Structure 1
């Protein structure tokens, strides 16, 4: 089978660890089928380029080994071009889609990537499959929600990373439940597994007696990082050995660095973006991993933390309750900094069974790829019904 993947959630030179779950899936899927990736990238005039814009051209082998990937660009303006980005993306994809002649087009990220891929797939006369990651279904602005709906409804299969996201697709977008497939993320057990905490701390320069709270992910407010900063101050007052480490990069990095400069006694460390092997080392070195997000899909960082035998403190949003229960961590309300601080202190004081935590997840990325391939085969074998065909004709 020839599968064309369309996604902007993929490693780029400016952000080599971007879209790691999609990359892991695609790399394994490439062993099972003939797979090509088209990664659509919005490009902006210099005067309008967002400060968080990280894209720069690079040889794909440097950032996405094991994958056949081309980066295609389309022009955009912040906010102003949002209603048209799907059409602009489709125009950029049209030629490459025809050139590859796929059996199925699979798009991860619903708008504008999925919208553009849907139009390009229709033009090429091939089935379209959509993959939702979380935030692309929990859309805030009305324009993107309206343009996401036809993608969700037209997909022959909608792949979601949690049962919760499947319910969101049905309730908010009118998705057909029979076409939804929940395919949770996998975990690379070769990297993420229990290890020697003392050795990991020595390698990272951490004190052996520290109580290390670890956050891994994008540095953005929606991850609850300002609440985590407040909790860090609370921990400093009650647990003098506590240290909170942020692994990642993003728009909040400058704000956090300024806070640390103004409060040098704050037990906060900014470790920057790290390769997966180093992320695993940080997890082994930690006492617990936290993710106080406002919304999530199926956060891979929590799966990886548990695979390393580390408990987690998180919020009960999205698919997190499908990963975390009372035996593996503590859940606190989002946006509640005091509750977060209390839960972190409680988790640090509690004894956790490292071996039991590590046994919770054995699903690897090969199984994710096989489930994905099966969904694509289902889409290829299915003939669209009259109502769906009529909808497609009306929406084209």
Structure 2
């Protein structure tokens, strides 16, 4: 690897001892990583740290989401990725045209740490960070077998943060496992929602009978989250119970093909009257609280944000026994069923009954494990360990 380019030090460098931390984001859709980073930024000590968000799309959704925080435009944006495309080493090679502009930007802004939070941003910024002499934190929120984590992080990352034990890099000769830590995503543990009022509002909007069982799916419509399996589960449950059932899918498809497949599956299973596509809505916890149950059919999910939000607002959870779901619901504070089994999901949802005690235990557990303050303390300790 080439030697780091020299750092530029303006006259005020000696006066500002704060660590300058760059949070670059690729694309322009909001997800759990953006929510986590904003929560972290709001808890960082401003006397010690200066966080700077860098976005690919000026004036876009991500830029608006971080309004009120210091933000700059990505100098190397080239529109190289299409949402929904898998990341490959070939696609990483295509990012090389943006490396030098980004490295110059990092030197010019005197960035100490580049903290990347998704695969595309890691591909875009990892090499530039090393060329600029900045420390690189690779925050992994995805599949532990992701190519970038397996092949690039060992060479480029100073530290890897994983959102769960499941998401840690696989051990091996070429691995960043020895430089990795588990840091659970942060949440506002003071979150409170009147579930009865939220449910009443949702019932009125839907125009359904009050006794209808409202089952919520929350998240992007991507294969890993199993949106088609949720449709299958609603169809199975419709045949199992005499109680009216309504499946509510909060989220959006990232590619047209999934949207078409989802609508076709709804028609094929004959659940047009038992399933509603609700779109992306905010604040998410309000709508989670409005549902009788959160259903998480996702397989290989590192650590689902909506799952913890459901714990915090007291909504019972039925989830696949897979990935980070197991870690989040350890100790019997949710119902776990076999992955990719629509019948098992339907039976669990139909037989859950009064899960008040389980939901209260889940709420207390989430408040003890997933606070923004605890997350910030762990990340700040890592920043200090990397301080130049």
TM normalised by structure 1 equals 0.78
Is the Cα–Cα contact under 8 Å of residues 32 and 305 in structure 2 kept in the other structure?
no
Describe the SS at the equivalent of 1:5.
strand
Describe the superposition over 1:3-35 as per-residue Cα deviations: whole angstroms up to 9, x where unpaired.
Answer: 33344368x3x6587732233333433746101
Instruction: Please show how residues 203-352 of structure 1 align to structure 2 within 5 Å.
Output: 203-204=201-202, 205=204, 206=206, 207-239=209-241, 240-250=243-253, 251=255, 252-260=258-266, 263=270, 265-275=272-282, 277=283, 279-325=284-330, 327-347=332-352, 349-352=353-356
User: Do residues 74 (structure 1) and 74 (structure 2) align?
Assistant: no
Describe the superposition over 1:234-283 as per-residue Cα deviations: whole angstroms up to 9, x where unpaired.
Answer: 111222322111111123344434555674654111111011x2x22212
User: Do residues 108 (structure 1) and 117 (structure 2) align?
Assistant: yes
Distance 1:335 1:91, change over 3 A: farther
Is the Cα–Cα contact under 8 Å of residues 21 and 300 in structure 1 kept in the other structure?
no
Is the Cα–Cα contact under 8 Å of residues 105 and 127 in structure 1 kept in the other structure?
yes
2:186 alignment partner in structure 1: 186
Q: How far is 1:75 from its partner? A: 4.1
| Cα-Cα RMSD | 2.9
Q: How far is 1:222 from its partner? A: 1.7
User: Do residues 34 (structure 1) and 50 (structure 2) align?
Assistant: yes
Is the Cα–Cα contact under 8 Å of residues 53 and 66 in structure 2 kept in the other structure?
no
Is the Cα–Cα contact under 8 Å of residues 127 and 156 in structure 2 kept in the other structure?
no
Gap regions ≥5 residues in structure 1 = 42-54, 382-396
Describe the SS at the equivalent of 2:247.
strand
Distance 1:172 1:306, change over 3 A: farther
Is the Cα–Cα contact under 8 Å of residues 23 and 64 in structure 1 kept in the other structure?
yes
Describe the SS at the equivalent of 1:371.
helix
Describe the superposition over 1:332-384 as per-residue Cα deviations: whole angstroms up to 9, x where unpaired.
Answer: 2222222222222232x353314323211123223322221211111226xxx
Describe the SS at the equivalent of 1:325.
coil
Distance 1:60 1:222, change over 3 A: closer
Q: Distance in 2 between matches of 1:330 and 1:58?
A: 39
Is the Cα–Cα contact under 8 Å of residues 163 and 182 in structure 2 kept in the other structure?
yes
Describe the SS at the equivalent of 1:361.
helix
1:44 alignment partner in structure 2: none
Is the Cα–Cα contact under 8 Å of residues 26 and 121 in structure 2 kept in the other structure?
no
Is the Cα–Cα contact under 8 Å of residues 24 and 365 in structure 1 kept in the other structure?
yes
Q: How far is 1:124 from its partner? A: 1.9
1:374 alignment partner in structure 2: 381
Q: Distance in 2 between matches of 1:115 and 1:9?
A: 10
2:366 alignment partner in structure 1: 361
| Corresponding residue pairs, total | 351
Distance 1:299 1:7, change over 3 A: farther
Q: Distance in 2 between matches of 1:16 and 1:317?
A: 21
Q: How far is 1:213 from its partner? A: 1.0
Bigger mean CA offset, 58-67 vs 214-223: 58-67
Q: How far is 1:152 from its partner? A: 3.4
Distance 1:291 1:92, change over 3 A: farther
Distance 1:235 1:60, change over 3 A: closer
User: Do residues 164 (structure 1) and 166 (structure 2) align?
Assistant: yes
2:199 alignment partner in structure 1: 201
Gap regions ≥5 residues in structure 2 = 1-17
Q: Distance in 2 between matches of 1:254 and 1:30?
A: 46
